[in-house]
Amino acid sequence: MSRSILVCKETYGGSSRERLYVKTPAQKNIVSVVLVDNKRASIINWFTKVFLPQGYPKSVSDDYLSYQIWDTAQAFCSTITGTLATQEVLRGVGVGSTEATPLAATITWVVKDSCGHLGKILFAFSHGTHLDAYSKTWRLYADTLNDAAMCVEIALPLFKNMTTFLLCLSTVMKAIVGVAGGATRAALTQHHAVRSNLGDVAAKDAAQETAVNLVASMAALLVISVFGNSLVIFSLLTVLHIVFNYLAVRSVCLRSLNEPRLLQLTDLYLRHGALATPEQVNRSEPLVFYHLGGSVLDLKLCGFQIKLGHSFNSVLKHYNASELQSILDVYEKRQYMVVPAVGSRRMFVFVTSQAKATDVLCGYLHAVMLAAVTCAINDVQLPILNIPSTRPFAELCLSMQGSECSRSPSPKMPSRRTGWSTTRPLS
């Protein structure tokens, strides 16, 4: 007895649904057979189509599911706390009060909205350039600031004489949240969309958020009906909201480099001669105090502040024309230039208009190594210098310590010997 021949098998993304195309001896045409494991699998497939991008999980990054789980949990908490805070806002503008007038409530609402518009403009102007490089951190900041704004709104009944001011304050805070949250959400969505499916990932993310908000709104009505505007429940959900947000951004594994991630990568490379994986770097990336990257993390690593992309005017007070020309000659064939300012413990990295990403990375690494060698010459203790002497960078530091480099007192460069400053670039 002849058997049926399997011509091909068709699957839909990562779902369990399969379609088999077979040819039987008794038929001339190919027959398709749909295989579904069970009813439970059918339900899962339906939810997958509605709430997950097409082709999931192959169409998104590996960290997509873990991020969405924590993001859904924080959205649930945020919706409930937002509902509780809205009740106090309405009470603050006079809803339910016989003494309040529609005109007064309207004026208060217009004033607070105007403050919110100004807050959006000023925040986008002052911090817009940071939202891509530090998307995880600003995502966390935005949700924490949103919680702070709702705490202000909850406190409105306690400060009836300051209702308008507090409403304006909370509106400005929420305006910042809107800009930071929307921009960082777009950056993270772009990271998750690995098959140029940004629109699909964003749409499904919106569908997930809508479904969560719908369920959370019903839960909020239940909470208000049973417990009223409970401060204990509000506080508990606020704490959970912050925790879930932290777990959400910590689960994201970005493959782009910002300053803290680059410093960690450089540290491991100089210590062990190996490159860290994106997972290792993201796992230890500082999220709360990212802005210390330019004043603490690099000082700890190499003893200098690395200034990338500053104006050339920043170094004019440190060098005269002939000295700057000598530095320019050294970097004539490169697309970057490292200019040390030893007295202020800064390394300035300038790049040309033709510089590529690799040139920027080379310039930054060059600055870190030059700073570490400068500290080694002056016997400034750095963790990065406590590495086995068999490493190439350690050998360089030891050889520079034994060389006859000109040293002159410098109050801002501590040393067991003397301070050191130079008018010539080390390359």
- 340: enclosing H helix or E strand: strand 336-341
Burial class of residue 368 in the structure, from the number of CB atoms within 10 Å of its CB (0-12 exposed, 13-18 middle, 19+ buried): buried
> What pLDDT does residue 151 have?
92
Delineate the domains of the chain, giving CATH numbers in brackets: 5-51 (no CATH), 64-250 (1.20.1250.20), 259-402 (no CATH)
- For the chain, give the mean pLDDT: 82
Confidence of residue 98 (pLDDT cuts 50, 70, 90): low
pLDDT value of residue 70 = 96
Contact 236, 80 (CB under 8 A): no
**Are the beta carbons of 175 and 117 closer than 8 angstroms?**
yes
Q: Which residue has the higher pLDDT, 420 or 181?
A: 181
pLDDT digits (tens, 9 = 90+) for 17-40: 677 777 777 777 776 666 555 566
In order of 4, 5, 24, 25, the CA distances from 1 in angstroms are 10, 13, 11, 10
Q: How many CB atoms lie within 10 A of CB 406?
A: 9
Which pLDDT band, with edges at 50, 70 and 90, does 288 fall under? confident
What's the pLDDT at 426?
Answer: 36
- And the tokens for 235? 């506080």
Is residue 122 packed enough to be buried (19+ CB in 10 Å), middle (13-18) or exposed (0-12)? middle
On whether the CB atoms of residues 354 and 336 are closer than 8 A, the answer is: no
Edge-to-edge strand order for the sheet containing 305-308?
305-308, 346-351, 336-341
Q: What angle do the packed helices 64-92 and 163-192 form, to 10 degrees?
A: 160
Instruction: Over range 219-230, report the average pLDDT.
Output: 85
Give one word for 13, left, alpha or beta, with left for phi > 0 and alpha for psi -120 to 50: left
**At 5, which amino acid appears?**
I
Which tens digit of pLDDT belongs to each residue from 85-96? 888 777 766 555
The distance of Cα 307 from the centroid of its chain, to the nearest Å, equals: 21
Q: For residues 122 and 166, what is the distance between their CA atoms, to the nearest angstrom?
A: 19
CB count, 10 Å around CB of 238? Answer: 23
Cβ neighbours of residue 91 closer than 8 Å, sequence gap 6 or more: 97, 156, 157
pTM: 0.80
Is 159 within 8 Å of 92 (Cβ atoms)?
no
Per residue in 189-203, pLDDT (tens digit) is: 999 999 989 999 999
Burial class (CB in 10 A: 0-12, 13-18, 19+), 338: buried
Q: How many CB atoms lie within 10 A of CB 328?
A: 13
Instruction: Determine the Cα angle at 348 with ends 347 and 351, to 5°.
Output: 140
